[in-house]
């Protein structure tokens, strides 16, 4: 009988290395936040979808929450509308809210659903309005007290924060072997739509589902320090100082905040990963190679 080729032996080796991870994560929920900045090349997008399908097949329950900030920005630009960001949040007037809802709930959501389904998975797209999944309230940001003597609240228009999450529809889909794909649009008591930063939604969904992991895929190697070096495990005690120095700013602010809140509320670990690395999800889940930044409860 001919001996198996080196390639075949390598495949067997890789699968065996993944075995303890598959055993550990089987039956567990992983919330994956797919950032608009990570949705770059077609090959990477396809790899992302393949990773999710594989996760599902080995018994892990992935739940996707997606962003789409750059995609919203591009359509607004075509419509001749500028966007302003305050502490990583897009100031959202009612016209902008319509565009946000069309882009996130429509284009981006269905593109991700389609990507997963083309790889043999069964994904179903939802916005926070479906099944009353995400109840929102208006977000009022506090301007940094150090800038002013009296604290001032900043009104960002239709920007919301999560008031409550009803995961019934998500659980139903997971039990039916579907991969839920959630757009971060919430609905207020007033019936209005709210634009919620996708990191914040992912953190809350992970918390309520009692997820094992929250994975945030973005376009940076992870959290970088002031010299641009990767912080592979975040010491939560350093965060205030890093924000004060301006080392954590813009879109990284909500990411870090939601990751810390999630681990403090029962999620075992949160990971900020570089979505520009092919199969970043599989590398993180099934190998010992620590990529990105890990945040866990002390």
Cβ atoms within 10 Å, residue 203: 30
User: Which part of the chain contacts ligand X2W (CB under 6 A), choosing from 35-43, 53-61, 162-170, 219-227?
Assistant: 35-43
Does the annotation flag 114 for ligand binding? no
247 binds, among ligand X2W, ligand ADP, none (CB under 5 to 8 A by kind): ligand ADP
Does the annotation flag 186 for ligand binding? no
Out of 63, 133, 159, 174, the residue judged to bind ligand X2W by CB under 6 A: 159
Q: Within a 13 Å sphere around the CA of 114, how many CA atoms are in the beta-carbon half? A: 7
Handedness of CA 34, 37, 38, 40 (dihedral sign): positive
Q: What share of the chain is helix, strand, coil (3-state, %, to 5)?
A: 45, 25, 30
262 binds, among ligand ADP, ligand X2W, none (CB under 5 to 8 A by kind): none
User: Which part of the chain contacts ligand X2W (CB under 6 A), choosing from 46-54, 170-178, 192-200, 267-275?
Assistant: 192-200
Residue 71 interacts with ligand ADP (CB under 6 A): yes or no? no
Distance (Å) of CA 240 to CA 144, 235, 237, 251, 295 = 13, 11, 7, 16, 15
Residue 121 interacts with ligand X2W (CB under 6 A): yes or no? no
Between residue 233 and residue 292, which ones bind ligand ADP under the rule CB under 6 A?
247-252
Phi, psi for residue 26 in degrees, rounded to 5: -60, 130
Q: Is residue 248 a contact partner of residue 239, using CB atoms and an 8 Å limit?
A: yes
Residue 184 interacts with ligand X2W (CB under 6 A): yes or no? yes
Out of 47, 62, 69, 128, the residue judged to bind ligand ADP by CB under 6 A: 69
Out of 47, 67, 180, 186, the residue judged to bind ligand ADP by CB under 6 A: 67
Closest approach of ligand ADP to the CB of residue 17, in Å = 29
> Number of helices (H) and strands (E), helices first, in the chain?
10, 13
Length of the chain: 298
Q: Which is nearer to ligand ADP, 33 or 173 (CB)?
A: 33
Closest approach of ligand X2W to the CB of residue 126, in Å = 15
Q: Is residue 219 packed enough to be buried (19+ CB in 10 Å), middle (13-18) or exposed (0-12)?
A: middle
Out of 224, 243, 268, 277, the residue judged to bind ligand ADP by CB under 6 A: 224
DSSP letter at 103 equals I
Q: Which is nearer to ligand X2W, 97 or 285 (CB)?
A: 97
Closest approach of ligand X2W to the CB of residue 7, in Å = 38
Out of 55, 72, 187, 267, the residue judged to bind ligand X2W by CB under 6 A: 72
Residue 92 interacts with ligand ADP (CB under 6 A): yes or no? no
248 binds, among ligand X2W, ligand ADP, none (CB under 5 to 8 A by kind): ligand ADP
Distance (Å) of CA 164 to CA 130, 161, 186, 197 = 14, 9, 10, 15
In whole angstroms, give the CA distance from residue 114 to residue 99.
21
Sheet with 179-183: strands ordered across: 123-127, 179-183, 61-66, 29-34, 213-218, 269-274, 293-296
Binding residues for substrate: 68-69, 90, 195
User: Which parts of this chain interact with ligand ADP (CB under 6 A)?
Assistant: 35-38, 67, 69, 218-220, 223-224, 247-252
The residues of the shown chain that bind ligand X2W, judged by CB under 6 A, are 35-37, 67-69, 72, 89-90, 100, 159, 184, 195, 197-198, 251
């Amino acid at each position: 009988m001919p001996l198996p080729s080196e390639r075949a032996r390598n495949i067997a080796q890789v699968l065996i290395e993944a075995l303890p991870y598959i055993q550990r994560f089987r039956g567990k929920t992983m919330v994956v936040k797919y950032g608009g900045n990570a949705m770059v090349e077609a090959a990477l997008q396809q790899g992302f979808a393949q990773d999710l399908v594989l996760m599902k097949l080995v018994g892990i329950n992935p739940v996707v929450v997606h962003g789409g900030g750059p995609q919203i920005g591009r359509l607004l630009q075509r419509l001749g509308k500028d966007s302003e960001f305050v502490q990583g949040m897009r100031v959202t007037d009612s016209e902008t809210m319509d565009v946000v809802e069309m882009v996130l709930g429509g284009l981006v959501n269905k593109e991700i659903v389609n990507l997963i389904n083309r790889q043999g998975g069964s994904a179903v797209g939802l916005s926070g309005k479906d099944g009353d999944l995400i109840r929102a309230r208006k977000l009022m940001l506090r301007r940094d007290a150090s800038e002013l003597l009296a604290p001032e609240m900043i009104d960002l228009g239709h920007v919301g924060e999560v008031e409550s999450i009803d995961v019934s529809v998500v659980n139903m889909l997971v039990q039916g072997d579907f991969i839920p794909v959630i757009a971060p649009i919430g609905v207020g008591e007033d019936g209005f739509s709210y634009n919620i930063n996708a990191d914040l939604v992912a953190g809350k969904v992970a918390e309520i589902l009692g997820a094992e992991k929250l994975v945030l895929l973005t376009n940076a190697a992870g959290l970088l320090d002031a010299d641009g070096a990767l912080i592979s495990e975040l010491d939560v005690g350093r965060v205030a100082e890093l924000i004060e120095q301006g080392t954590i700013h813009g879109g990284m602010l909500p990411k870090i905040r939601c990751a810390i809140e999630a681990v403090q509320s029962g999620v075992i670990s949160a990971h900020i990963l570089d979505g520009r690395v092919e199969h970043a999800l599989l590398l993180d889940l099934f190998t010992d190679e620590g990529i990105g930044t890990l945040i866990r409860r002390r």
